[in-house]
């Protein structure tokens, strides 16, 4: 029957302050979720199991495991330490209750610390005594706990919760999933197969039969040499056999070296696989960002220039905003200048008349009519001004002549005012003309300016949100791949290609060596046949038969071993695919299967093959982790019997994405009878329920049996801090 | 004095502003270096002209304080070079014959010194209107009634009732 953890409680264990009954989680068969933000007891929860299984805890400062007895002072809740007076003592411990089909066990591991010094965080201030492990056992039929005293039985009870060999598949934190199934190590799947099958027995048998074969061969040769009838030809053949065996050994050594090279290159390749896709995407993004940034920069400059130029439109004759509301100036000035001109003209005329009353006099503006028109009037003997005839010799004709011969006014202009300002005023009017005809168009022009600004602003906003989107894509890539901001994507790309080349080279050499070996082995076989026929016929039959049977046994055992192995691999492959499909059920990944393939180095590589049969490489890290998790589940479910142990996992959901989370929670009950999942990604401190949307959905999900939310009041000083466990389901 | 001389004498004048207006001048022109969320004027003369026209629109003339409390800046002739802006401004000013207490024709018969006086009166009128406009701006600014926008100045200019 499966082991099911019924409850876990703490006493003054890190931030889990208080007695066991104050900090208790109850769990049920099926999926149990604990949501906790960073620092809210997730790793402490794991520490409880590290203590239970290994008497260790993880030091969150250096991520190294430390023995509980050496680390005790740090394990005690600071609040509890602070409340313990000198001379008094405090107990710290963990309590786990689990049941199998028939029995229920309660395990308590604890220590007692006596305060002997002032400074509570100093090791010297405390005397620590580790308490005996207390285990109580009860039968479901007779619910009365009875203590277990026998040390071996205690040990067995602890191990039975999760068997040591299976803990690696059942008890892990975040990134450990990656290390757990490390496909770069050729042994990882083999190890899994070994854990799950009786293949080691076949290996033992193979070793025994190989020994038998060697002995049979030796005996046979001994017999052969004792017979005088053995001849030189046999001697030669035996020598040849030795030579061939030596060559085979040598080639095998070379092969091993190449396989090692291959494995190394493959390790590097696999390691860089996720990073490579990431790096090439990053490089692509970098280029896009750089181009976009340039466009953005010029758009931003243009916008800035536009804004700076807005008020310039007051003073620019093309816009003339400054004239807005000064329409009447034009009329006003026009009236004033004509009054001015009339007055000064009158003044001048009067002056002229007074000076030379008999001189030419006209009230026409000066220099009009012009000389050309005057000549025409003289020629035609007609005055265009008054429309009457002016026959030659008449008074009007003489007047025309007089006009034509009038003195050039500008040259002989007499100073009739002290300051001649006519030109000053005329020039003002003339020059200002660009500012005098825009009045009506100004409101429109202001409107157009605003529209243009809006246009520029829109373009700028669009560009800057595009850049932002690209940058956040790039940031996401960095986050999912744990890469430094500074790491140059080009280096990764080069390394990746380098390792791929080395793999190809080693692979070619391995193939060549294998061909050589094949040939050598064929020669060896032929030589052995030759030896058989050269052997004296009078050797006792038993010796030859022994040797032949031994040879057959070796071959049969090796084949059986291979078959068992291959069968298990293909079983794993089937199971892994089944789980993988469940895990990605809600992802929009099209088709595709996981493919277990023997690599040239003899390891097993795991590839993701798309519908067209092409290998999909370098998917996101979340995707890589999904693949691995599918294999972990396969290792467990491929076991012929049911898996009887709970899953304790700190799920790094952030790397997976929402769709995977949903698949994950649906898929785990298929394999693990009980799972306790700690997640921080469902925590949302800003939400009223403190849960994300997915978190809120999961509370209602019928697959989820219990649901806890841990909270720590970060506002409080460390010595006041406690973890509050709130049960939501 | 002929037209040419009259014009150059006028254009060589450097109008003054009260030193107390420096903060508002700086706030609204690019000489002030703070970044702001409204579009400013470029050189001082722009805000100066704007203020003057605003003063005229509002009919707000405000004499400058005594000379040592004022400062001058570039000559009128250098305001917006190669532009007829100044011609337009002078058109506006010279139509204010009542305020200047001048008659264009009479100007032509004035003694040189008297005419120079007229030039001074013209400059004073420019200064007083500008000062009036600046005070108006400053009041709005201090009361927080200027909405910081890129169109703050044109909007304000539009809203003043027509002269």
Residue-wise pLDDT tens digits, A542-564: 888 888 888 888 888 888 888 88
**A441 and chain B: CB distance < 8 Å anywhere?**
no
Helices A621-637 and A442-481 sit at what angle, rounded to 10 degrees? Answer: 40
Residues in chain B: 163
Residue B84 has its nearest CB partner, among A308, A333, A432, at: A432
Nearest CA in chain A to B41: A311
Q: How far is CA A462 from CA A448, A466, B142, in A?
A: 21, 6, 36
* A515-529, A548-562, B144-158: range with highest mean pLDDT: A515-529
Between B152 and B92, residue with greater pLDDT: B92
B66-79 pLDDT tens trace: 999 999 999 999 99
Question: Which residues does chain A have within 8 Å of residue B42's beta carbon, measured at their own beta carbons?
Answer: 308, 311-312
Beta strands in chain B (DSSP E): 16-18, 70-72
From chain B residues 116-135, the ones with a CB under 8 A of any chain A CB are none
Nearest CA in chain A to B88: A432
Nearest to A611 by CA among A589, A578, A626: A589
Least confident of A209-213, A362-366, A460-464: A362-366
Structure tokens at B64: 């400058």
Measured in angstroms, the CA of A347 and the nearest CA of chain B are apart by: 10
Name every residue whose Cβ is closer than 8 Å to that of residue A359 and which is 6 or more positions away in sequence: A352
Measured in angstroms, the CA of B68 and the nearest CA of chain A are apart by: 30
Average pLDDT value for residue range A642-662: 71
Mean pLDDT of chain A: 82
Question: How many degrees, rounded to 5, is the angle at CA A330 between CA A325 and CA A334?
Answer: 155
Nearest CA in chain B to A422: B3
What pLDDT was estimated at residue A480?
Answer: 54
What pLDDT was estimated at residue B163?
Answer: 38
Please state, for a pLDDT cut of 70, what percent of chain A lies above it.
85
Please judge whether A315 and B46 are an interchain contact, meaning their C-beta atoms are less than 8 angstroms apart: yes
From chain B residues 54-93, the ones with a CB under 8 A of any chain A CB are 57, 80, 83-85, 87-88, 90-92
- Position of tokens 């409880």? A48
Total structural domains within chain B = 1
Name every residue whose Cβ is closer than 8 Å to that of residue B8 and which is 6 or more positions away in sequence: B77
Average pLDDT value for residue range A244-270: 87
Beta-bridge partner residues of B121: none
pLDDT tops 80 at residue B136 = yes
**A424 and chain B: CB distance < 8 Å anywhere?**
yes
Average pLDDT value for residue range B7-12: 94
Least confident of A35-44, A411-420, A472-481, B84-93: A472-481
Nearest to A643 by CA among A98, A177, A196, A201: A196
What pLDDT was estimated at residue A548?
Answer: 83
pLDDT band of residue B160 (cuts 50, 70, 90) is confident
Between A325 and A656, residue with greater pLDDT: A325
Least confident of A151-155, A238-242, A483-487: A483-487
Least confident of A59-68, A304-313, A409-418, A718-727: A409-418
pLDDT band of residue A409 (cuts 50, 70, 90) is low
Please judge whether B87 and A325 are an interchain contact, meaning their C-beta atoms are less than 8 angstroms apart: no
Residue A419 has its nearest CB partner, among B2, B40, B53, at: B2
Residues in chain A: 729
First and final C-alpha spacing in chain B: 33
Average pLDDT value for residue range A161-188: 67
Question: Which residues does chain A have within 8 Å of residue B95's beta carbon, measured at their own beta carbons?
Answer: 329, 332-333, 336
Measured in angstroms, the CA of B74 and the nearest CA of chain A are apart by: 16
> pTM of the prediction?
0.50
Average pLDDT value for residue range A17-21: 90
Average pLDDT value for residue range A74-95: 90
Please judge whether B91 and A433 are an interchain contact, meaning their C-beta atoms are less than 8 angstroms apart: no
pLDDT tops 70 at residue B65 = yes
Between A193 and A128, residue with greater pLDDT: A128
Question: Parallel, antiparallel, or unpaired: how do β-strands A388-389 and A134-139 relate?
Answer: unpaired
Please judge whether B83 and A418 are an interchain contact, meaning their C-beta atoms are less than 8 angstroms apart: no
A488-503 pLDDT tens trace: 777 778 888 888 888 8
First and final C-alpha spacing in chain A: 26
What pLDDT was estimated at residue A339?
Answer: 93
- Count A/B contacts: CB-CB distance under 8 Å: 140
CB atoms closer than 10 angstroms to residue A378: 17
Average pLDDT value for residue range A228-241: 78
Measured in angstroms, the CA of B120 and the nearest CA of chain A are apart by: 17
Question: Which residues does chain B have within 8 Å of residue A339's beta carbon, measured at their own beta carbons?
Answer: 104
What pLDDT was estimated at residue A382?
Answer: 87
What pLDDT was estimated at residue A186?
Answer: 57
Measured in angstroms, the CA of B12 and the nearest CA of chain A are apart by: 15
Question: Which residues does chain B have within 8 Å of residue A322's beta carbon, measured at their own beta carbons?
Answer: 49-50, 53, 85, 88
Between A202 and A451, residue with greater pLDDT: A451
Measured in angstroms, the CA of B65 and the nearest CA of chain A are apart by: 27
Please judge whether B2 and A323 are an interchain contact, meaning their C-beta atoms are less than 8 angstroms apart: no
Backbone angles phi and psi of A35, in degrees to 5: -100, 125
Please judge whether A333 and B94 are an interchain contact, meaning their C-beta atoms are less than 8 angstroms apart: yes
Between A88 and A269, residue with greater pLDDT: A88
Please state, for a pLDDT cut of 90, what percent of chain B lies above it.
66
pLDDT tops 50 at residue A689 = yes
Mean pLDDT of chain B: 89
CB atoms closer than 10 angstroms to residue A389: 11
* A197 in Cβ contact with A517 (< 8 Å): no
Least confident of A392-401, A561-570, A709-718: A709-718
pLDDT band of residue A637 (cuts 50, 70, 90) is confident
**A433 and chain B: CB distance < 8 Å anywhere?**
yes
Please judge whether B49 and A322 are an interchain contact, meaning their C-beta atoms are less than 8 angstroms apart: yes
- Position of tokens 């990605």? A584
Rounded to the nearest angstrom, the gap between the alpha carbon of residue A519 and the centroid of all alpha carbons in its chain is 50
pLDDT tops 60 at residue A177 = no
Please judge whether B49 and A436 are an interchain contact, meaning their C-beta atoms are less than 8 angstroms apart: no
Q: What is the dihedral of CA A163, A164, A166, A167, to 10 degrees?
A: 110
Domain of residue B145, residue span? 3-159
Between A97 and A614, residue with greater pLDDT: A97
d(CA A408, CA A410): 6
H helices present in A311-421, as ranges: 327-355, 371-380, 395-404
A49 exposure class (CB count in 10 Å sphere: 0-12, 13-18, 19+): buried
Beta-bridge partner residues of B16: B72
Least confident of A81-95, A163-177, A447-461, B5-19: A163-177
- Position of tokens 């989820």? A704
A334-379 pLDDT tens trace: 999 999 999 988 888 888 788 776 665 566 666 677 778 888 888 8
């Amino acid at each position: 029957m499966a082991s099911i953890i019924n409850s876990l409680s703490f006493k003054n264990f890190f931030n889990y302050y208080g007695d066991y009954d104050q900090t208790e989680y109850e769990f049920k068969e099926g999926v149990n979720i604990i949501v906790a933000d960073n620092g809210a007891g997730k790793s402490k929860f794991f520490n409880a199991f590290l203590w239970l299984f290994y008497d260790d805890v993880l030091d969150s400062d250096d991520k190294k495991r430390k023995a509980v007895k050496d680390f005790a002072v740090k394990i005690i809740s600071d609040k509890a330490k602070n409340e313990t007076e000198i001379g008094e003592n405090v107990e710290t411990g963990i309590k786990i209750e689990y049941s199998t089909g028939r029995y229920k066990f309660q395990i308590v591991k604890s220590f007692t610390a006596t305060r002997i010094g002032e400074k509570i965080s100093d090791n010297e201030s405390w005397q620590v005594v580790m308490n005996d492990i207390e285990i109580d056992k009860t039968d479901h039929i007779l619910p009365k706990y009875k203590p277990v005293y026998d040390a071996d039985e205690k040990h067995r009870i602890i191990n039975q919760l999760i068997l040591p060999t299976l803990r690696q598949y059942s008890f892990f934190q975040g990134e450990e999933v990656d290390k757990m199934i490390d496909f770069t190590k050729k042994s990882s799947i083999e190890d899994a197969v070994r854990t799950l099958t009786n293949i080691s027995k076949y290996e033992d048998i193979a070793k025994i039969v190989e020994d038998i074969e060697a002995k049979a061969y030796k005996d046979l040769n001994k017999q052969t040499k004792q017979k005088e009838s053995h001849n030189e030809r046999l001697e030669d053949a035996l020598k040849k056999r030795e030579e061939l065996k030596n060559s085979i050994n040598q080639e095998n050594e070379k092969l091993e070296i190449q396989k090692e090279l291959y494995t190394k290159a493959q390790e590097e390749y696999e390691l860089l696989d996720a990073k490579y896709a990431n790096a090439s995407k990053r490089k692509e993004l970098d280029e896009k960002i750089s181009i976009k940034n340039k466009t953005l920069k010029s758009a931003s400059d243009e916008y800035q220039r536009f804004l700076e130029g807005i008020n310039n439109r007051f003073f620019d004759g093309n816009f003339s905003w400054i004239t807005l509301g000064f329409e009447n100036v034009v009329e006003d000035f026009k009236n004033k200048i004509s009054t001015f001109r009339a007055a000064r003209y009158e003044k001048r005329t009067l002056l002229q008349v007074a000076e030379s009353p008999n001189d030419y006099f006209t009230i026409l503006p000066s220099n009009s009519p012009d000389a050309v028109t005057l000549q025409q009037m003289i020629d035609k003997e007609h005055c265009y001004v008054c429309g009457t005839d002016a026959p030659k010799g008449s008074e009007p004709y003489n007047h025309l002549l007089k006009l034509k011969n009038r003195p050039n006014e500008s040259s002989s202009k007499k100073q009739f005012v002290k300051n001649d300002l006519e030109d000053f005023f005329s020039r003002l009017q003339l020059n200002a003309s660009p500012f005098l005809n825009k009045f009506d168009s100004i409101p429109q022009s202001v409107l157009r300016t605003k529209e243009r600004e809006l246009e520029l602003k829109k373009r700028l906003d669009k560009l800057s949100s595009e850049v932002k989107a690209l940058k956040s894509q790039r940031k996401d890539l960095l986050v999912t791949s744990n890469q430094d901001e500074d790491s140059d994507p080009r280096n990764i790309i080069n390394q990746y290609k380098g390792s791929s080349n080395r793999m190809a080279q080693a692979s070619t050499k391995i193939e060549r060596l294998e061909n050589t070996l094949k040939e050598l082995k064929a020669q060896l076989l032929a030589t052995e046949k030759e030896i058989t026929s050269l052997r004296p016929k009078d050797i006792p039959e038993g010796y030859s038969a022994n040797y032949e049977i031994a040879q057959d046994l070796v071959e049969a055992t090796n084949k059986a071993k291979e078959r068992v192995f291959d069968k298990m691999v293909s079983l794993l492959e089937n199971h892994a695919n089944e789980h993988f499909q469940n895990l990605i059920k809600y992802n929009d990944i099209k088709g595709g299967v996981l493919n277990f393939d023997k690599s040239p180095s003899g390891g097993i590589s795991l590839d993701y093959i798309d519908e067209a049969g092409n290998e999909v490489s370098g998917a996101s890290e979340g995707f890589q982790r999904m693949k691995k998790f599918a294999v972990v589940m396969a290792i467990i479910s491929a076991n012929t019997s049911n898996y009887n142990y709970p899953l304790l996992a700190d799920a790094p959901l952030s790397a997976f994405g929402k769709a995977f989370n949903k698949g994950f929670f649906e898929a785990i009950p298929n394999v693990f009878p009980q799972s306790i999942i700690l997640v921080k990604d469902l925590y949302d401190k800003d939400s009223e329920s403190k849960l994300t949307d997915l978190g809120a959905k999961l509370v209602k999900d019928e697959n989820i049996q219990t649901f806890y939310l841990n909270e720590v009041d970060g506002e409080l000083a460390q010595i006041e801090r406690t973890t509050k466990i709130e049960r939501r389901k | 004095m002929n037209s040419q001389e009259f014009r150059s004498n006028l254009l060589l004048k450097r109008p003054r502003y009260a030193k107390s207006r420096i903060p508002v001048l700086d706030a609204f022109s690019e000489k002030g270096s703070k970044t702001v969320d409204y579009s400013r004027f470029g050189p001082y003369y722009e805000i100066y002209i704007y203020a003057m026209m605003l003063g005229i629109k509002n009919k707000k003339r405000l004499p400058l304080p005594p000379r040592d409390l004022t400062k001058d800046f570039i000559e009128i002739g250098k305001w917006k070079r190669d532009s007829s802006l100044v011609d337009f401004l002078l058109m506006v000013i010279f139509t204010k014959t009542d305020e200047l207490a001048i008659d264009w024709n009479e100007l032509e018969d004035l003694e040189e010194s008297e005419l120079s006086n007229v030039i001074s009166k013209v400059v004073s009128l420019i200064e007083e209107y500008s000062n009036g406009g600046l005070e108006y701006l400053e009041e709005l600014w201090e009361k927080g009634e200027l909405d910081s926008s890129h169109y703050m100045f044109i909007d304000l200019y539009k809203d003043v009732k027509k002269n």
